[in-house]
Amino acid sequence: MNSQKIALLTDTGTNTPASFLAEHDIRVAPLRINFSDATFESGVDITPAELVARLPHEVPKTSLPSPQTIRDLFEQARADGYERAVFVTLSSGLSATCQTVRMVASQMTGFPVVVVDSLSIGIAAGLVVVAAANMIEADVPFLSLQRKLDALAADTRVYFSTKTLEYLRKGGRISEPVYRLGSMLNIKPVIKCNETGHYVVARKARGWERSLETEVRLVVEHAQQFGTVRLAICCSDADDYFEYLEGRLREELGKIGVNIESILYSDVSPDLLVHTGPDVVGIGVQGVR
């Protein structure tokens, strides 16, 4: 337990690697995955592989953790000896999780909570979780964490591509015209979260390999305003581009003199696969000021 007795919590939409969660005692609120015949908690009673196996038969809906689940996590942290908490959520532009956590936090008595909207999703949001853990363990004062983590979230970006646009369309994440045009012309839009945390098309590429190169270029464009960055790479089980993307990122960032402080690797949580499908590759980049 850290000296300030600050618990750190997050949700499965941040895709923080399980090994890091366990090492730093980070508690996780699972998003729910709702099929017609059953409801699962992401990462608890359904794995990414099990989710992918069910997708051909039914594309489920996702829903946020219940207020009671969030409250139970806070109360368990208090029972374990923590006296305050930080909760980093996936983007409020994509889920009502952040608003729900804030509501529950406001009802906690004698247990102050800082709620950080990552304004991102997946492994890029996970970069904010990792930064929060490092700040807490470095004894950054509790009252300074909100400001520092909000600023860090604003300097963090995610870029991802999928081999098929079907799941983004079914989930309402891209429009029907974008889906039709992309499918006909083999155009793979690279998606990002904008400044308000909503999905937008960052750039379009023709073909899968070009979309990955476009992700690298977008990371370099964002990184060039910083002397040092933290990176994160995520791949679904169906694809493994970790080594390739790391090599390309090191090469391109080296050309412009940007240092890489760390690189985080992660698979993709079941709740995120619902909206992207089984073939997704993303990169997170976080500026270090």
Contact criterion met (CB below 8 Å) for 73 and 29: yes
pLDDT at 184: 76
Please determine, for residue 181, whether its predicted confidence score (pLDDT) is greater than 90: no
Residue type for 158, please?
V
Mean pLDDT confidence for 237-265: 92
> What rounded mean pLDDT belongs to the chain?
94
pLDDT at 237: 65
Q: What is the pLDDT of residues 65-112, one digit of tens each?
A: 999 999 999 999 999 999 999 999 999 999 999 999 999 999 999 999
Residue type for 225, please?
Q
- How many residues are recorded in the chain? 289
Sheet of strand 84-89: strand arrangement:
26-29, 6-11, 84-89, 113-117
Distance CA(93)–CA(70), nearest Å, equals: 19
Please determine, for residue 238, whether its predicted confidence score (pLDDT) is greater than 60: no
Q: How far is CA 14 from CA 92, 121, 146, 160, 269, in A?
A: 12, 6, 18, 14, 9
Contact criterion met (CB below 8 Å) for 162 and 201: no
DSSP one-letter string for 11-28? EGGG---HHHHHHTTEEE
Q: What angle do CA 226, 231, 235 make, to 5 degrees?
A: 150
Distance CA(96)–CA(156), nearest Å, equals: 20
pLDDT at 24: 97
Residue range(s) of every CATH 3.30.1180.10 domain in the chain: 156-288
Architecture of the domain delimited by 156-288: 2-Layer Sandwich (3.30)
Measured between alpha carbons, how far apart are the two ends of the chain, in Å? Answer: 28
- Model confidence at 126, pLDDT cuts 50, 70, 90, reads very high
CA atoms within 13 A on the CB side of 15: 30
If one compares 73 and 173, the residue with the highest pLDDT of the two is 73
Of the candidates 210, 231, 209, 211, the one whose C-alpha atom is nearest the C-alpha of residue 220 is: 231
Distance CA(211)–CA(217), nearest Å, equals: 10
Residue range(s) of every CATH 3.40.50.10170 domain in the chain: 6-153
Q: What is the pLDDT of residues 273-287, one digit of tens each?
A: 998 888 899 999 999
- Model confidence at 239, pLDDT cuts 50, 70, 90, reads low
CA atoms within 13 A on the CB side of 142: 18
List the CATH code of the domain at 6-153: 3.40.50.10170
DSSP secondary structure letter of residue 42: B
Mean pLDDT confidence for 106-121: 97
- Model confidence at 12, pLDDT cuts 50, 70, 90, reads very high
**From the CB of residue 230, how many other CB atoms can be counted at a distance below 10 Å?**
22
Mean pLDDT confidence for 134-162: 97
Please determine, for residue 260, whether its predicted confidence score (pLDDT) is greater than 80: yes
Please determine, for residue 44, whether its predicted confidence score (pLDDT) is greater than 90: yes
| Helices 97-106 and 67-79, axial angle in degrees (round to 10) | 50
pLDDT at 169: 77
